[in-house]
Each structure stands twice: as structure tokens, then as C-alpha cells.
Chain A
Amino acid sequence: MDDDALLAAVAAGDDQSLRELFERHAPWVAGRLRRLLAPSAVEDVMQETFVAIWRGARTYQGGGPVGAWIWGIARRQAALWARRHGRADLERSLETMLERPAADDPAAAAANRADLAQALDGLGPEADAQRELVRLVYVEDRPLADVARLLGVPEGTVKSRLFTVRGRLRAALGGGY
């Protein structure tokens, strides 16, 4: 099911579709918010974001990618969080900071890739499906469409599996990355 169909199902009250949407989009939205907010603040904002999606799915008009719509909600929720917590400075800079690309650092990216390659051992034997997924996506940096083709599953399934492997990856990398 693509994102539009999932969101339509959410609008019709299907909580399993909300879960699917969460698995596909929560990791990157959290990653993006994490650039400016502490983990606990990101968790608060994420919760408000997906509750807002559940309540407001009917207002989605289409005409743009679902990811962009979700990101718009997350940005607003982050601004609300900053206001509630008296962080006027953060509230002012939040929108522009969150939109901006991060400073590109090739050396850091290479080091991160090396950490990931090492972390693969913590994900089980070479034949392990989760380990293979992490290797293809994060170490070999392959596009998701290629990975989906290689594994013989839809791209949406690859996204869901990446969500599932997240916990193990987090443990293998020592809790934070």
C-alpha cells in the first residue's frame, strides 16, 4: 500500500495503517528533529505529531507527498513544544534550522559508515536477514528501490523492516548515533 492509500485508511479509522505510516516515517522525522532537540523532546514532539496525523488525516487534500505533509505537522509541533517550554529562542530559529541541510562532512560520514560496518557483527550471522538489510542500505548506501528488488519485496516493506531493525541497530551501536 502506498502512503496515500495508507493515509486514506487512517482517515477511515484504521489504526493498523497508522502503525504502518509510523514505521515508515517516524524514524526519519525523529532523525531530522534530533538535530535540534534532545531525545526526550523529540519523543514528545513525535507523539503529538502522530496523534495529530490520526486526528487530522481527513484534512489531507493530496496534491503533495505524504512525507512533506507529515513533516509540516512535525515542524509545527516542534514549534509548539518550544513555546510550551518557554524556549522562545528555539521557537524563532526552529523552522529555518530544521529546513536547512546539515553541514556536509565527508570524513564524519566515512567514520559513521565504518562504525556501521563494525556494528553488523552485532546483528547476527552473515545470513541474517536484518544484517543483510543494514548492509545493503546503510553500508553499501544502495537506493531503497534496488534493495527492494534484491530482496523481492515492495519498497514499503523495506521501510517497515528498517523500522524493525532499528532497535537492534541501536543496541549494536551503543544506544546513540
Chain B
Amino acid sequence: MGGMHGHSDGAAHVATCADCQARAGLRGLDVDLNRVWIGVAGEVWAREVGWVERTAGRLLRSPGLARALLTTPSLLLSWLLASVAVLAIGVLATHTSGEPWVALLAPGLAGAAIAYAYGPGIDPAFELSRSMVVSDRVVLLARGLAVFALNALLGLAASLVAGQAVGLTWGWLVPMTMVSALGLAGATLARSANTGVAVALAGWAMIVLAGRAETRDLAAAVTPGDLLPLYFVGTALCLVAALYATNGRRSEVTLWR
């Protein structure tokens, strides 16, 4: 490309002309700039490995996976403290109102956390993780399982403290699985953690409100019964969508963020 009329192709001009820079970019299309960025990011984000990461690396037999796991946005201390605070408010609300707020909050929290386990655009380590030997899917699986397990534990502890009925203590686990899968599907399809959070929370709110409208009971959504098939089918469909969204070829296509 020779550039636009009246523009010089000399370096001194191109270095200062946005129009010529745009056209000069066409010359190096065979240069893989994503690979270059991964290399740059690797140097920029290089840091000393702490004992937690070393231990996790030994346990997982993969230092890369350990790094990916420990940099998960929804496993960072600030996120965990926020989750504990929300559940603590749920415990208080459950005690004062008699409604199962912990059971209703836990799936929403988990859905948001799972969406934030996948983070192009919000998680610098995501791009670094792409330089690892382990695939994106393995990283996502490890992160998703860790986030889910931690949220299940937090929810369970909050349920026990709230003194909910036995059925309710476990009842939210199935919807939580579905909402988590929904958040994951939303995040991976849109390549946006925030979209995943919005999809998960909106989906869960609709289920809760629909159950409330039909039965006049806020707890309907977490006392599965008739809703079990919906939850199982929903979970399966969302997982298929997430698998589709994270297949290699589709991941190569970069969308607007």
C-alpha cells in the first residue's frame, strides 16, 4: 500500500501520521501480534512466585495452572470478603424476616463469581494464561471448579448459621449449579465477564420472581421439586454453550469488547 495521496512513506512522516500508520499496519499482517503481546505481558507481569503458588503448582503438577488459579478475579481476597459480607447480610435478613435469603443469594453470588472466572478484558492473567502449555479450557475448568466449590462452602456455612430448614440448606445447590452454568455460558459467549454476571443475575431473578408469582412463596425457586428438570436441562444446555464458546477456532475470532 503506497499510502494516501500527498503523504510521504518515509519513517519520519509515518511515525507522526495516524492515517499512514493505519495503512502501514497492512504490511505486517503475517506478523502474529497476539503472540508478541503474550511475550510482552509475560515480562510485564513476571513476579516472584510465593509459597502458596509453589505449593499449588506442586499439587496440580502445573505451575502455569497454579498461576492461573491464584489470579482468578473471583478468588482474590477482596472478592471473597465481599461474598462473605453479602452472605452475612443474608443471614441477618433470614433471621429477621424468616425468608430464606441465604438460599436466594448464594446462587446469584456463585453465578457472578463463575462469570468472573473467565476474564478477557478484566483479568490481565487471562492473556498470560494463553502462553501456558495448558489449554484455555483446562484453565477455565480448574478456575470454575475452584470457584464453585468455594461458593458452595460459603453458602453452606451461611445456611447453617442462618439455621434454615434442612431442605433449604441443600435446596439451593441445584439452582446454584444452573445459575453458575448460565453465568459461564454468558461470559464465554459474549467474551465478557460483566455480560456473564448480568445474564446469571437476570436469569436467577426471573426464576425467583416467577416462582414467587406462581406460589406466593419466595422460597419456591430453592425448594426444587417440579423445577428440578428445568435446572438440569438448563445446566446441560449452558455447559454445551460454554463448550462451544471456548472451542479453539471460535476463540481465535476476537470480538469487540
Q: How far is the CB of B33 from chain A (nearest CB, A)?
A: 5
Residues of B within 8 A of A70 (CB): 15
Determine if A28 and B24 form an interchain contact, defined as CB atoms under 8 angstroms apart.
Answer: yes
Q: How many residues on the B side are at the interface (Cβ–Cβ under 8 A)?
A: 44
Closest to B35 in A: A43
Q: How far is the CB of A98 from chain B (nearest CB, A)?
A: 6
Closest to B33 in A: A26
Residues of A within 8 A of B8 (CB): 101
Apart from A27-B25, A143-B19, A175-B29, 6 more pairs, CB < 8 Å: A27-B28, A30-B27, A30-B36, A31-B24, A43-B31, A177-B30
Residues of B within 8 A of A138 (CB): 1, 22-23, 26
A44 vs B21: C-alpha distance when bound (angstroms): 20
Q: How far is the CB of B127 from chain A (nearest CB, A)?
A: 8
Closest to B25 in A: A27
Stretch of B173-181, B207-215, B248-256 contacting A (4+ beta carbons < 8 Å): B248-256
Q: How far is the CB of A27 from chain B (nearest CB, A)?
A: 3
Main secondary structure of the interface of A (DSSP, over half): helix
Interface residues of B in 15-51 (CB under 8 A from A): 15-16, 18-37, 39-41, 43-45
Main secondary structure of the interface of B (DSSP, over half): helix
For the complex, is A15 an interface residue (Cβ under 8 Å from B)? Answer: yes
Interface residues of B (CB under 8 A from A): 1-2, 4, 8-12, 14-16, 18-37, 39-41, 43-45, 124, 252-257
Determine if B28 and A15 form an interchain contact, defined as CB atoms under 8 angstroms apart.
Answer: no
Determine if A28 and B14 form an interchain contact, defined as CB atoms under 8 angstroms apart.
Answer: yes
Determine if B27 and A35 form an interchain contact, defined as CB atoms under 8 angstroms apart.
Answer: yes
Closest to B32 in A: A43
**Mind listing 24 A-B residue pairs with CB under 8 Å?**
A15-B45, A22-B40, A26-B33, A28-B20, A28-B24, A30-B25, A31-B24, A32-B14, A34-B30, A46-B36, A67-B21, A99-B11, A100-B10, A101-B10, A138-B22, A144-B18, A164-B254, A164-B256, A166-B29, A167-B252, A168-B254, A169-B26, A170-B29, A177-B29
